[in-house]
Amino acid sequence: MKKQLTHLLLALAASLPLAAVAQVPVQPAADQAPLLASADPALRANKRLVYDFWREVFEAGQVDQAEKYVAESYIQHNPNVPTGRSAMVGFIQRRNPTPKPVEDRIKAPLVSIVAERDMVILSFVREYAEPKDPTRQYTTTWFDMFRIENGKIAEHWDGAVKPSNP
């Protein structure tokens, strides 16, 4: 009897739809200030540099501040944005033609900031429509990684791909 019950439970579990084992939704950090902490002053400074760049230049569109944060020879690995600080500025201006006030914290749902050596990684919550049911949403994580050189952002990576229908 015990063996039959085990087989029945296994068969039942195998027949359940995959939605029954849904992912755990990605959650942003409630407080961003602790994410900037580091016992290493260089890592702490690199985190602050990227954090302030993101708030001031990327989100607020204050591109006149780009020189303060980004090296002129900035290398871009996103396939939709050319390399160089001026190209990055142009990209931000097209996304955000009217500069906005700078917020005290990053507006995007920030999960974490990790710094190691000369690299800083920001991770964010991303929400998308379920492919089989566009009325439902799911979350995943987006990463932006920056390399710091001489106190400026010198290089950037993210998970961007070229759009299938430009």
Domains and CATH numbers, the chain: 25-158 (3.10.450.50)
- DSSP secondary structure string for all residues of 92-137: HHHH-SS--PPPSS-SS-EEEEEEETTEEEEEEEEEEEETTEEEEE
- 70 and 84 in contact (C-beta within 8 Å)? no
The average pLDDT across 95-108 equals: 96
Distance CA 99, CA 146 (A): 23
Instruction: Report residue 25's pLDDT band, with 50, 70 and 90 as the boundaries.
Output: very high
Residue 3 pLDDT = 63
What is the per-residue burial (b if ≥16 Cβ within 10 Å, else e) of 8-42?
eeeeeeeeeeeeeeeeeebeebeebeebeebeeee
- Using only the alpha carbons of the chain, give its radius of gyration: 21
61 pLDDT exceeds 80? yes
- To which residue do tokens 């201006």 refer? 93
Distance CA 108, CA 59 (A): 8
| The model's pTM | 0.84
pLDDT tens-digit map of 65-75 = 999 999 999 99
